[in-house]
Structure 1
């Protein structure tokens, strides 16, 4: 499988039926199958109620990873998105690409441009992408790259070709394609009659578990790490119960780049309106939605938005619930939870 790499997601799990992470192959756990391995530039661990044909399901899981890589991996030179980024306007994109593109447009509009898949050139320049970084980024370089930024400069034709206003525009769907991949695996399970599952890829989750066939699962329960960790002991900040829901968490407190000259830390989320890595007192955002693609996209958007704008967005967006952890001027953690997220918390 290729290497579709995504932002580091900072979620760990405490599962009500005992999730195993120790091996990289399939295991049995109380009637459930556990598939684990490495894909999309990260680890995955998938637990599902085992039907008769688990060999076929394992192959179908791998096929999903391969298909998404072939369509949207910026780390795979042969992918459709890599060809498009090189300026190939003849590529007719597949249904995977189209679905992600359309959702990206929706979130871009809803967030007033704070979520923008055209930040690829900026991400590369700041050292967070597959291309060569610019060692000494100045305002002049940022301004020039902003000319290649803006999702309003990208269109999809009726026949499925991607049209860019400037050939140098670099598309990057990493902020929602991993969540979409998880959704595709969930759809595959649904088609095969799997009624209980938890799919985790790089810390993002999709769950299903409301079957009367098993009394073990009333909800899947996952735990969110505190953004401030003790080196000696893992610190959890919340436990969340999920049923037929997805969750994604984005944070700016572990993945960053240090400038060799100044020693300054730059977080890994780029503000597409300024062209600079976002400096913010928001430490992490967890989003719950019906699909992992939606949760994934909005977790990124809420991280890059100013906190007051993020709160305003949450008041007018009914399809997501969110939990935001920020730091006040004294460095103390401050929590903001929507009503719906509060109702999912486990005491």
Structure 2
């Protein structure tokens, strides 16, 4: 799974090219910056030039970090990971925890936010990695890995079966922050917006400057460094979220052995993922859901992924993989296919 500061490996770009016949009375505000360890670009339609919700956006990032950033020692998650007694989690932590439990159960444990100790050991977290990590060490960490080893009491306190259980909400925390920004816009009466943070996207309404739904592009997971950026597809998004997970950009190189380790970990084995899936883009009704399942489908066996997709409501996916001969293969659900621009 991923690890806050939310590294930017997601490969989605949204298109902001101009178009003829734009409505003259449409005013679009664009706020850009750096948060959660990555960049963000947020566009929204405003009623007058004085409206600017930059401060409100930054406040959302602040409250998410305060609750769930493993890189901030005073955050709730850091205090819980250290084993502090009596930590009462806030509404944000509770919501993410409860949804994590749901996805953990639906994915048969392939999605597991208790992998924080493994994330650190492999060099993708806030703690110093273990170089030349041995199988025995991995097995030892696996003894206190598992979302079935934690519980949340009615008074909002976390109980652990082992004191070394370590949370990592990176696989859905960024998507959750995006949803909170969207909720803030909704409360302020903003009807048309696109929120992009590190490649994860939430949309509402339309791009009224272009008189069409918001248009986003899915990067190809195979890029030639000397060529122009390649895209797999362009899609229309309206009142939907999209998140992409992949193994092709973020990795760590062991300084002693030179081995490459991808950032997504298999909670069943304790090791970085090694499979033929290159990337998964998920569309859902909110970004936390899209974010979580994009990571889960990277880890799950291919047939399990397809079966679960057939059972989930409001979740569609675009899966890119290699076959045994190295050829690129695509699996696209009907709901996703319907949004692709022909």
TM tier relative to shorter chain: over 0.9
* Deviations 1:14-45, CA, capped at 9 Å, x for gaps: 426659xxxxxxxxx96100000001010000
**Cα contact 2:202–2:287 (8 A) shared by 1:** yes
Note the aligned Cα RMSD (angstroms). Answer: 1.9
Does residue 227 of structure 1 match 2:221? Answer: yes
State how far apart, in whole Å, the 2-side matches of 1:87 and 1:18 are.
53
* Deviations 1:64-123, CA, capped at 9 Å, x for gaps: 000000000000111110000000131111101011001100000000000000000001
Counterpart of 1:288 in structure 2 is 283
Counterpart of 2:11 in structure 1 is 11
State how far apart, in whole Å, the 1-side matches of 2:291 and 2:50 are.
28
Counterpart of 2:173 in structure 1 is 177
Question: What is the aligned residue count?
Answer: 334
**Cα contact 2:9–2:250 (8 A) shared by 1:** no
State how far apart, in whole Å, the 2-side matches of 1:136 and 1:210 are.
50
Residues 86 and 277 from structure 1, CA distance in 2 versus in 1: closer, same or farther, beyond 3 angstroms?
same
Counterpart of 1:24 in structure 2 is none
Which residue of 263, 267, 271 maps to 2:262?
267
**Cα contact 1:16–1:220 (8 A) shared by 2:** no
Q: Normalising by structure 2, what TM-score?
A: 0.93
Which residue of 189, 192, 195 maps to 2:191?
195
Can you give the 5+ residue segments of structure 1 that lack an aligned partner in the other structure?
20-28
Q: 5 Å matches for 1:31-180?
A: 31-52=27-48, 57-180=53-176
Residues 40 and 67 from structure 1, CA distance in 2 versus in 1: closer, same or farther, beyond 3 angstroms?
same
Counterpart of 2:205 in structure 1 is 209
* Local SS of the residue matching 2:223: coil
CA drift of 1:230 comes to 1.7
CA drift of 1:311 comes to 1.3
* Deviations 1:111-154, CA, capped at 9 Å, x for gaps: 00000000000010011111011101111101110011000111
Can you give the 5+ residue segments of structure 2 that lack an aligned partner in the other structure?
20-24
Which structure has more relative contact order (CA 8 Å, sep 6+)? It is 2
Residues 82 and 167 from structure 1, CA distance in 2 versus in 1: closer, same or farther, beyond 3 angstroms?
same
